[in-house]
Amino acid sequence: DMCMIAPGIFLFLIDRHLRFLQSRQNARLLSVRLLPCAALELNFSKNPSLYYNPTSFVFINVPKVSKLQWHPFTMNSSCNMETNHLSVTIKNVGSWSNKLYQELSSTSLDHLHVSVEGPYGPHTAQFLRHEQIVMVSGGSGITPFISIIRDLTFQSQQQEFQAPKLLLVCIFKNYVDLTMLDLVLPISGSTTQISNLQLQIEAYITREKEEPSRDTQKHTQTIWFKPNLSDSPISAVLGPNNWLWLSAIITSSFIMFLLLLGILTHYYIYPIESKSGEVYNWTFKRHNTLENKQIMNEEVQTPTTSPGSWIYGSEREVESLPHQSLMQATQVHFGARPDLKKILFECEGKDVGVMVCGPRKLRHEVARICASGLADNLHFESISFNW
C-alpha cells in the first residue's frame, strides 16, 4: 500500500515547494475597478511569456485583509488580448471579499500588497472545437465566460480563424448587476473589435420589472496604484526555461521525500518493540484498528467574481465603437427567468457546446436538459465554484 501512495506524496511535495516559491512574491497591482454591483476587478501586471487558457483561476492573498487566507478566483482576462496584464474579478459575497471591498472603497490607497499563486486551469481551449457555444451564467458565474469572449474577440481578428457563434444567457437578480457586462471590454485599453464576433447576449433581471431611474444609478470607480520596487509582474514560478532551478527543486523535494519515508517507515510502518526487539508489522496493526470513521466531503462556497457599467451607466460623453457593438448585441428581459429548454433546443448547430456556471440548481437544470436525449447536438460542461 505504501508503494502505491509514495509517488503521490512525492508529487505533492514538489507541488507545495513550487507554490511556496511563487506565493512569496508580491504581485504588481496596477489598478482596481469598483463596480456599482459591489464587485471589483483587480488588474495586475504580468510577464508576457506567462500563458494561460480562458476559465483559468488564481489563488489570491491580501495580508491587509488576512495574512493566512488564500482564495481562488477565476480570471476574466485573456493572455492573447492582454499580453502584459492579468485581471481577476471578485464579488462581495463573503466576509473576506467584503473586507477587501470596504478597504478599497473607503480609503485612499496608493498601494496594496497582494500575493498571487497560479494560474491554474485547462491545458487546451476545448470550447474551440464546437460550432456554437451557449454560455449560461447565474450572478457572478459570468466571469469565466468573459475570459472566453475576450479570447475569441482577439482570435476573430486573425486571418483564417473561424470563431464559433456565441450565445450568452446571463441571469441577474438586480439591474445594477448588469454592470458586470462591462468587463467584456478590458480596462487596459487593448484594441477590441467585438463587432467581428458573432455574439448574442440575453440578460435576465429576475427581481425588477423596469429600468430604475437614472438619478439613482452609480458609476464605476477606477483606482490606480503607484508602482513599488518590491512588487513584480506575475510570472511562471521558475521563469522561462530555467531548468537549473527546476532540477534543484525536484532534487530537494526528492531528498525531503526520502527523509519523510524513512521516518514514517521506522516509527510507524515497522516500529521495533523496545522490550522484545520484534518488528510489529503494520499490516496486522491496520487490521486491529477500527476504521469506521467516514470522511465527509463538504462543498465550501468560495467568493467569486464580477464587473462593469455601460448599460447601467449610459451617460458616457462619447460611446466607443466596442461599447456600441456590445450594447447592440445585448437584449435585456425584466421580471423573468429564461426558458432554458426552449433556448437550448432551438440551437440548430450540429455541435453545440453548452457551458454553465452559477448556483447548483442552475447547473443541474441545464445538465438535465442536455441529458434528456431530446437533442443529440448538445454537449454539456459545468464550471463550478465549489471547492
Tell me if residue 294 falls in helix, strand or coil. Answer: coil
Helical spans, DSSP H, in 107-157: 143-155
pLDDT the model gives residue 352: 92
pLDDT the model gives residue 283: 44
pLDDT the model gives residue 251: 73
pLDDT the model gives residue 219: 82
pLDDT the model gives residue 349: 80
- Could you give the CA distance from residue 238 to residue 241 in angstroms, rounded to a whole number? 8
pLDDT the model gives residue 10: 66
pLDDT the model gives residue 256: 73
Instruction: For 172-237, give the DSSP string.
Output: ESSGGGGGGGGGGS-TT-----GGGS-EEEEEEESS-SSPPPGGG----EEEE----TTEE-B--S
Pairing of strands 231-232, 330-334: unpaired
pLDDT the model gives residue 312: 44
Give yes or no for a contact between 144 and 311, defined as CB atoms under 8 angstroms apart.
no
Instruction: For 144-167, give the DSSP string.
Output: HHHHHHHHHHHHTTSTT--PPEEE
pLDDT the model gives residue 238: 57
pLDDT the model gives residue 268: 67
> 129: which DSSP letter?
G
Pairing of strands 115-120, 57-61: antiparallel
Q: Burial, 89: exposed, middle or buried (Cβ in 10 Å; 0-12, 13-18, 19+)?
A: buried
Domain limits of the chain? 13-235+302-383
Residue 272 CB neighbours (<10 A): 12
Per-residue pLDDT of the chain (387 residues; tens, 9 = 90+): 556 666 677 677 666 666 666 667 789 999 999 999 989 999 999 999 888 999 999 999 999 999 889 899 999 999 888 889 999 999 988 899 999 999 998 777 888 999 998 888 887 778 888 999 999 999 889 999 999 999 998 888 887 788 889 999 999 999 999 999 988 888 765 555 677 788 999 999 999 988 887 766 778 889 999 888 889 898 876 554 455 656 666 677 677 777 777 777 777 666 654 444 554 444 444 444 433 333 333 333 333 333 334 444 444 433 456 677 778 888 999 999 999 999 999 998 889 999 999 999 999 999 999 998 888 889 998 887 665
pLDDT the model gives residue 373: 83
Give yes or no for a contact between 26 and 114, defined as CB atoms under 8 angstroms apart.
yes
Q: Model pTM?
A: 0.74
Report CA-CA distances (Å) from 49 to 3, 95, 149, 367: 38, 35, 21, 37
Fold of 13-235+302-383: Rossmann fold (3.40.50)
pLDDT the model gives residue 301: 37
- The grid coordinates listed for 242 are 530555467
pLDDT the model gives residue 88: 95
